[in-house]
Amino acid sequence: MKRKHVYIIGGVVLLSLLGVGIASAFTVSSVDGVWGYIDGVTNTSNYFPVDGLGYAREGVRAPLRADQGYRLQDTVCTPMQNITPPWPNTDRWTSIGVTWGGFGSHTSTCINAPDLMFSEYVYNQVGWEGDDQLAIEIVNRTGSSVNLANYDLLLFTGDRAYDTISLSGTLNNNAVYVIVNNAAAGSVTGENLTISNNDDYRPIVLVYNNGGENTEGARNDRWATGPGNLPTVYSDWDPNVQNLSTTDENQVRYGRDAYNPSNWQSYSSEITDFAQQSGFGFDGRDGAITPTALTPFFLGEFIHYNNQVFSTNDNYQNANPFNYVDLTVTVPVLCNDGSTPTPPSFQIVPRINLEETSNSAGECEYGSVGDVPCPDRVTIEFPPTNPTFVCPDGTYTVNILGFTETGLGTDDCWESYNEDAVSAAYITQEDQNNYACLWARIEEPLADLSVAKTCWDFDTQNAYYRITTSNFGPGSARSVTLTDTLPNDVTYDKYTSQLITTSGTINQGTCSVSGQTVNCSLNTPLQDYSTDPLAKWVVTIYVNYASGDEIVNTVTVSSITADPVLSNNTDTAECDITFASLISFDAVNEDEGVMLRWETATELDNLGFNLFRAEELDGPKTSVNPVLIPSASPGSMAGSVYEYLDTEIEAGLTYYYWLEDVDFALTKTLFGPISVK
Q: What confidence tens digit (pLDDT) does each residue in 602-652 have?
A: 776 778 899 999 888 777 889 999 999 998 877 676 778 899 999 888 887
Q: What is the pLDDT of residue 546?
A: 62
- Choosing from 423, 443, 463, the residue where a domain stops is 443
Burial of 653 by CB count in 10 Å (0-12 exposed, 13-18 middle, 19+ buried)?
Answer: exposed
The answer to whether residue 553 sits within a structural domain is yes
Separation CA 109–CA 174 (nearest Å): 10
Helices in 205-309 by DSSP H: which ranges?
none
The answer to whether residue 569 sits within a structural domain is yes
Containing structural domain, residue 83 = 48-212
Q: What sign does the dihedral 428-430-432-433 (CA atoms) show? A: positive
Which 3 state secondary structure label does DSSP give 241?
Answer: helix
Rounded (10°) CA dihedral 63, 65, 68, 74? 60
Among 329, 159, 354, 375, CA closest to 253: 354
The answer to whether residue 375 sits within a structural domain is no
- 322 or 173, greater pLDDT: 173
Q: List phi, psi (to 5°) of 240.
A: -75, -20
Amino acid at 402: G
**Which region among 79-83, 294-298, 513-517 has the lowest average model confidence (pLDDT)?**
79-83
Render the burial of 404-416: b for 16+ CB within 10 Å, e for the rest.
bbbbeeeeebbeb
Q: What is the DSSP string of 632-656?
A: SSTT-SS--EEEEEE----TT--EE
**Same domain assignment for residues 170 and 229:** no
Which are the contacts of 202, defined by CB distance < 8 A and separation ≥ 6? 54, 56, 61, 62, 63, 64, 65, 156, 157, 158
SS (H, E, C) 426-464: EEECCCEEEEEEEEEEEECCCEEEEEEEEEECCCCCCCE
Separation CA 331–CA 25 (nearest Å): 15
Q: What is the pLDDT of residue 412?
A: 94
- Residue 158: band (very low, low, confident or very high) from pLDDT cuts 50, 70, 90: low
**Same domain assignment for residues 199 and 326:** no
**Same domain assignment for residues 62 and 184:** yes
**Same domain assignment for residues 412 and 505:** no
Query: Does pLDDT of 226 surpass 70?
Result: no
- 10 or 534, greater pLDDT: 534
User: What is the Cα 196 distance to its own chain's centre?
Assistant: 47
Q: What is the pLDDT of residue 568?
A: 85
Q: What is the pLDDT of residue 362?
A: 62
Q: Is the pTM of this model over 0.75?
A: no
Q: What is the pLDDT of residue 210?
A: 63
Query: Does pLDDT of 44 surpass 50?
Result: no
**Same domain assignment for residues 58 and 11:** no
The answer to whether residue 381 sits within a structural domain is no
Separation CA 272–CA 257 (nearest Å): 6
The answer to whether residue 378 sits within a structural domain is no
**Same domain assignment for residues 165 and 268:** no
**Same domain assignment for residues 543 and 610:** yes
Separation CA 133–CA 137 (nearest Å): 14
**pLDDT tens, position by position, 342-355:** 988 788 889 999 98
Neighbours of 162 (CB within 10 A): 26
Among 31, 45, 40, CA closest to 326: 40
- Residue 40: band (very low, low, confident or very high) from pLDDT cuts 50, 70, 90: confident
Separation CA 39–CA 254 (nearest Å): 11
Query: What CATH number does the domain containing 661 carry?
Result: 2.60.40.1510
**Same domain assignment for residues 423 and 475:** no
Amino acid at 511: C
- Choosing from 428, 443, 458, the residue where a domain stops is 443
**pLDDT tens, position by position, 437-459:** 999 999 888 899 988 887 776 66
**Same domain assignment for residues 166 and 275:** no
- For the chain, how big is the Rg over CA atoms in Å? 34
The answer to whether residue 265 sits within a structural domain is yes
**Same domain assignment for residues 411 and 496:** no
**Same domain assignment for residues 204 and 291:** no
Q: What is the mean pLDDT of the chain?
A: 79
- Residue 575: band (very low, low, confident or very high) from pLDDT cuts 50, 70, 90: low
- Choosing from 443, 466, 490, the residue where a domain stops is 443
The answer to whether residue 411 sits within a structural domain is yes
Distances from the Cα of 14 to the Cα of 17, 164, 519, 522, 669, angstroms: 8, 67, 25, 21, 22
Q: What is the DSSP string of 47-106?
A: SEEEEEES-EETTEE----SSEEEEE-TT---S--SSSSS-S-TTTEEE--S--TTTT--
The answer to whether residue 54 sits within a structural domain is yes
Amino acid at 11: G
Query: Does pLDDT of 6 surpass 50?
Result: no
What total number of domains does the chain contain? Answer: 3
Please say whether the beta carbons of 184 and 201 come within 8 A: no
- Residue 518: band (very low, low, confident or very high) from pLDDT cuts 50, 70, 90: very high
**Same domain assignment for residues 239 and 110:** no
